[in-house]
Structure 1
Amino acid sequence: MKKLQIYGLLLLGTIGTPNAVLAQTEPHEVVVLDNGFEDNFYEALKQKGIENYDKAIESLRKCETANPDDPIVYFELGKNYLAQKKYKEAYDNFEKVTKMDPKNRWAWVGMYDVCYEQHDYNKAIPIVEKLVEFKEDYKEDLTSLYMNTQQFDKALDLINELNEKFGKTDKRELYKADILKDAKYQAAEKNNLLNQIKKNPKDESNYIALIYMYSQSNQEEKAMEIAKKLEQAIPTSDWAQVSLFKFHLNNNDGDNAVKAMNIVLPSKKIDQKIKHRILNEFLIFAKNNPKYEPDLDKAIAYFDNDKEIKVAKEIGKFYYAKTNFTKAAKYFEMHLKNNEDDVETQQLLLQSYVETQQFEAVEKRAEELIQFFPTQPQFYYYAGLANNQLKNFKKAANQLEAGLDFVIEDTALEINFNIQLGEAYNGLGDMKKKEKYFTKANELINKQKK
């Protein structure tokens, strides 16, 4: 802002005027040249300070009358009108200042404030382009304005310019990711990244971004080409191994895929979601290539402390869904070593044992679980089922009758309990109770069909 002009008071005839003339002049006839600017201006500042904007504006209008060519009056009027949300008046006064003094940055800022408050981003753009001449920092604002007005080509150019000059920011990267969802901007960005790689071959982030873009557009060969360039430029790069892992799997090269995977999984640089994806891809590969199963087991160990996804459990479920119950049981057991209270997995493991007819294992684990979870009916059921298969009919009947009391609103489980109780009493030779429980099971089945 221009410094405030202070207008002094001038008494006519007090300097260099003969005493004789003074003697002829009465005190009330002495003319004081005071147009009141200074008093009115400070009064305006005082009233604005206490948010009495109407009175401040009233005083400033008096200043305007006294000195219509002073830009500070219009600047203060603009601020007071803006505080009152009288946007047109505020804008007009700020604009008047810029016409009187084009280098007054704060007046341009005032116009920008008005546009921003009104969400008139198109009108704000030429103002901010002017502000950039004063201070380059305003390019950040200009980027946001281009985004808000969907001028994505200009936004992308400016983002790349700022990234190269000042380094990346989270905000700009989010903007960029948003823009690049539209395929029409991706070609330009790929070229930009290629140029950045030439200029800065040791900047890993440009390779990663380009690999990702090629992968998203199903240009796997180009993605692999960039991954190899990254590996050559930065041999220690963990990110290069992410793409190389995929390349090796596609070529059915399990040994090199394992090497890449074992670099990626322990890396602190790689996002956990990417690690999960790699493990899932290797799981499918190992399913079709059983000799790599030990490598799969080793890979799972990297996820022992993963709080989001229980990897061994998920792999167990994968094999369970494929009816490979032997492998399912193996991974459920692995998970349960550190998660004994996971009731769901305990049940899946027991069922896996049943499917592979490991009834002694079912009986042993189910009885242990009854001690830890005495109100969970499923464990009584599995204990009873196992003992029936082992011909321990009396024990089976006792366990099943005890567990049946805990079955609540679970018809399927209740049916199974009754069937196993019928089997137990059949084994004990009690035909009356056998019929009782089989009849009850049939009633529940018919009721369920309705």
Structure 2
Amino acid sequence: MHKLRNIAFHLVCGLLVASSAFAQVEPEQIAATTDDFQNSYFEALKQKSIENYDKAITALEKCAEIQKENPAVYNELGKSYLKLKKYDNAYSSFQKAHDIDPKNRWYLDGMYEVCYAKQDWQQAIVLVQQLVPFEASYQEDLVSLYMNTFQYDKALALINQLNETVGESDKRRLYKAQILSDAKYQGAEKDDLLSKIKRNPKEESNYVELITIYSNSNQEEKALEVAKMLEKEIPTSDWAQVSLFKLHITNNDGTKAGDALKQALKSSRVDAKIKHRMINEFLIFITKNQQFEQVFEEAIALMPEDKNIVVATEVGKYFFNKKDYAKASKYLQKGVSIKPDDFEAARLLFQSLSQNQQYDALLKQAQDYADLFPNQPEPFYYKGLALFKTGKLKEAVSELESGVDFVLDNPTFEAAFYKLLADVYQSLGDLKNKDKYLKKAEKLK
């Protein structure tokens, strides 16, 4: 809301009116009356500055008795009444100032401020429409007021106008999305966008907006038609590939889908959420079309990682479920390096490295997680396993006997510790301890 006020301007106005109002009066009378006005006016400003608005109003009323046609006095009265939330008095004071000097926008702005405080949106619209010729930026206020009064058709028309003349803004973008969530307003918007595309076929944003509307209303065929139009007019468009990607997936064309995915992932203009959605769709696709796994791996190498959604971890889980432990290890290692506190991913990594017999890498990862999560049993188990497999038997015993104490309410995992300890003691030739731990494991069955 516009709240600028030029106090100095109004003070000068008041004093100028004070001197000009007595042009035909005796000089002694002019001096006395002007002094009274100035003293009362300055007293009002002083009281207002220390938030004594009642006293400011009393002083301003004396000014109004001396100069009944001074708009600056009524403007200051309006401000003080507004501070006291005496909205009717404030509005009538600003109105009086405006009646005296209709060319000064600040008096209209004062009335608007009163309406805003009262949430009288309808009257606020009337005032802002009068303010726009003074200052075009009031149109932003007008958009919000149309939204507040559910005049979505007017809001949409003004949003489109402002988008073309001054560029888009986040606020207007949100308003527009809110309006277009109602199918009632989509028809006119579609027609408007098609008209814009016809007038300027090289403006990408109009295609993107139209594709979004069709997609959000489940008109996928229409969205694809627009995407093809976009690709034809602007072959380098990243957004065309985002839309055509789904068509290629539907047509089981993994090569074209992969190319579209690569272009989208390389683009700085495509939102990260859209990129993640496309990756997930391709993951689902390759579960039934494994011949395109290499295409997929080439594509995701282009995706910058994000701690909120770690793509490498999701890909690692995909390969883990396929029992491709070499690839699972590769992506899970990348995933936990980006988000080390993802312990679930770490568990899968331990299992993948174990299954793939990468014991040196397993030992390092398990040690890192033993330091990071000292009360979790899994790092101790896999550390013990890696030490056992690399011939460091006594160290393996130490890790396993320490780690088993952290197993809680998981008899299966506790039994796994005991079985592994039995294997280690057998390798050490300690059959007594081997039997001891085998018996412990048997009791947990």
- TM class, shorter-chain normalised? 0.7 to 0.9
Counterpart check, 1:152 vs 2:152: yes
Deviation at 1:217, TM superposition (A): 1.4
- State the partner residue of 1:26: none
| 8 A Cα contact 2:329 2:353, kept in partner | no
Deviation string 1:16-57 (CA, Å, 9 cap, x unpaired) is xxxxxxxxxxxxxxxx54596533432243123322544443
| 8 A Cα contact 1:94 1:111, kept in partner | yes
The number of residues matched between the two structures is 417
Are residues 70 and 347 of structure 1, via their aligned partners in 2, closer, same or farther at CA, if it must alter by over 3 Å? closer
Are residues 385 and 277 of structure 1, via their aligned partners in 2, closer, same or farther at CA, if it must alter by over 3 Å? same
In the aligned structure 2, how far is the partner of 1:93 from the partner of 1:414?
83
In the aligned structure 2, how far is the partner of 1:70 from the partner of 1:268?
59
| 8 A Cα contact 2:286 2:292, kept in partner | yes
In the aligned structure 1, how far is the partner of 2:73 from the partner of 2:387?
97
RMSD: 3.4
Are residues 149 and 421 of structure 1, via their aligned partners in 2, closer, same or farther at CA, if it must alter by over 3 Å? same
- State the partner residue of 2:327: 330
**Gap runs ≥5 in structure 1:** 15-31, 446-450
- State the partner residue of 2:3: none
In the aligned structure 2, how far is the partner of 1:168 from the partner of 1:368?
51
Deviation at 1:395, TM superposition (A): 5.9
| 8 A Cα contact 1:381 1:400, kept in partner | no
In the aligned structure 2, how far is the partner of 1:444 from the partner of 1:257?
51
Letter in 2 for 1:336: Q
Are residues 400 and 112 of structure 1, via their aligned partners in 2, closer, same or farther at CA, if it must alter by over 3 Å? same
1:76-115 pair list within 5 angstroms: 76-115=76-115
* Higher mean C-alpha deviation, range 141-150 or range 93-102: 93-102
Normalised to the residue count of structure 2, the TM-score between the two structures is 0.81
Deviation at 1:169, TM superposition (A): 1.9
Deviation at 1:374, TM superposition (A): 5.9
Deviation at 1:238, TM superposition (A): 1.3
Q: Larger Rg: 1 or 2?
A: 1
- State the partner residue of 1:258: 258
Normalised to the residue count of structure 1, the TM-score between the two structures is 0.80
Letter in 1 for 2:151: Q
Deviation at 1:298, TM superposition (A): 0.9
Are residues 366 and 110 of structure 1, via their aligned partners in 2, closer, same or farther at CA, if it must alter by over 3 Å? closer
Deviation string 1:102-151 (CA, Å, 9 cap, x unpaired) is 44422211111112233332331222122224333221111111222332
Are residues 34 and 251 of structure 1, via their aligned partners in 2, closer, same or farther at CA, if it must alter by over 3 Å? same
1:210-289 pair list within 5 angstroms: 210-289=210-289
Deviation at 1:159, TM superposition (A): 0.9
In the aligned structure 1, how far is the partner of 2:78 from the partner of 2:384?
86
1:146-225 pair list within 5 angstroms: 146-225=146-225
Letter in 2 for 1:174: L
Are residues 222 and 40 of structure 1, via their aligned partners in 2, closer, same or farther at CA, if it must alter by over 3 Å? farther
Letter in 2 for 1:285: F
Deviation string 1:349-393 (CA, Å, 9 cap, x unpaired) is 332355x5x4xx1544434445656666434423655788x7x9x
In the aligned structure 2, how far is the partner of 1:441 from the partner of 1:261?
50
Letter in 2 for 1:137: S
**Gap runs ≥5 in structure 2:** 1-9
In the aligned structure 1, how far is the partner of 2:337 from the partner of 2:85?
64
* Higher mean C-alpha deviation, range 80-89 or range 208-217: 80-89
3-state SS, counterpart of residue 298 of structure 1? helix
Are residues 87 and 444 of structure 1, via their aligned partners in 2, closer, same or farther at CA, if it must alter by over 3 Å? farther
3-state SS, counterpart of residue 406 of structure 2? coil
* Higher mean C-alpha deviation, range 258-267 or range 239-248: 258-267
Deviation at 1:243, TM superposition (A): 0.8
In the aligned structure 1, how far is the partner of 2:203 from the partner of 2:379?
57
Counterpart check, 1:45 vs 2:41: yes
| 8 A Cα contact 1:312 1:332, kept in partner | no
Same amino acid, percent of matched pairs: 46
Letter in 2 for 1:201: P
In the aligned structure 2, how far is the partner of 1:103 from the partner of 1:219?
52
1:269-418 pair list within 5 angstroms: 269-303=269-303, 305-320=305-320, 323-326=321-324, 328-336=325-333, 342=340, 345-352=345-352, 358=356, 361-369=357-365, 377-382=377-382, 399-406=396-403, 407-412=405-410, 413-418=413-418
